[in-house]
Amino acid sequence: MFRWIFNVWARFRPYRTEWVEDLPDDLHKNTVYIIGGRKHPFYAAIVCPRKTCRQVIHLDLSPQVDKRWRIIEHVDGQISLSPSVHVTGLPCRCHYWLRKGRIVWSESPSFFVPEENRHD
Ligand SMILES: [Zn+2]
């Protein structure tokens, strides 16, 4: 029961959004960095939320690129990314959505949180 509550809590902890001109050297987890600032966002970076992974994931937002992500900023300042983030070509193979500042893992059930993320 505790575990279940913990998982739900982890799922609903929101991400922060940082609109920056350049990617900082030190990246915090639970943060979406949008590089280029609000005027010309051209890529987003997040630290992979899976604890055993922690890869920095770069997502192209540039309109010139075919395979690009869109960012949606909600009224409360939270960010959604479309489509989902699916890491291929790296061992982690993490697959998740960022919806309204929350990570939603692609695994079911819908409140799934990877085992290694459950006790932080
Ligand atoms: Zn990963």
Provide the pLDDT confidence category of residue 35 given band limits of 50, 70 and 90: very high
Express each pLDDT in 48-85 by its tens digit.
998 888 889 999 998 888 889 999 999 988 999 999 99
CA 88 to centroid of ligand 1, rounded, Å: 9
CA of 24 to the centre of ligand 1 (A): 20
Find the 47 Cα to ligand 1 centroid distance in Å.
8
| Nearest one of 81, 82, 86, 91 to 32, comparing CA atoms | 81
Rg over CA atoms, the chain? 14
Mean pLDDT across the stretch 8-20?
78
Tell me the residues surrounding ligand 1 (ion) with CB < 5 Å.
48, 50, 53, 87, 92, 94
pLDDT at 9 over 70: no
Pairing of strands 85-86, 95-99: antiparallel
Three-class DSSP category at 96: strand
Using CA atoms, how far apart are residues 96 and 94, in angstroms rounded to an integer?
Answer: 7
Cα 102 to ligand 1 centre (Å): 16
For 112-120, what is the mean pLDDT?
A: 81
- Asked if residue 11 has pLDDT above 80, the reply is no
pLDDT tier for residue 43 given thresholds of 50, 70 and 90: very high
**91 alpha carbon – ligand 1 mean position (Å):** 8
**What's the pTM?**
0.83
pLDDT of residue 10: 58
Q: Please answer whether residues 49 and 96 qualify as being in contact, where contact means their C-beta atoms are separated by less than 8 angstroms.
A: yes
Where does residue 96 rank: exposed (0-12), middle (13-18), buried (19+ CB within 10 A)? buried
Given this model, what pLDDT does residue 114 score? 87
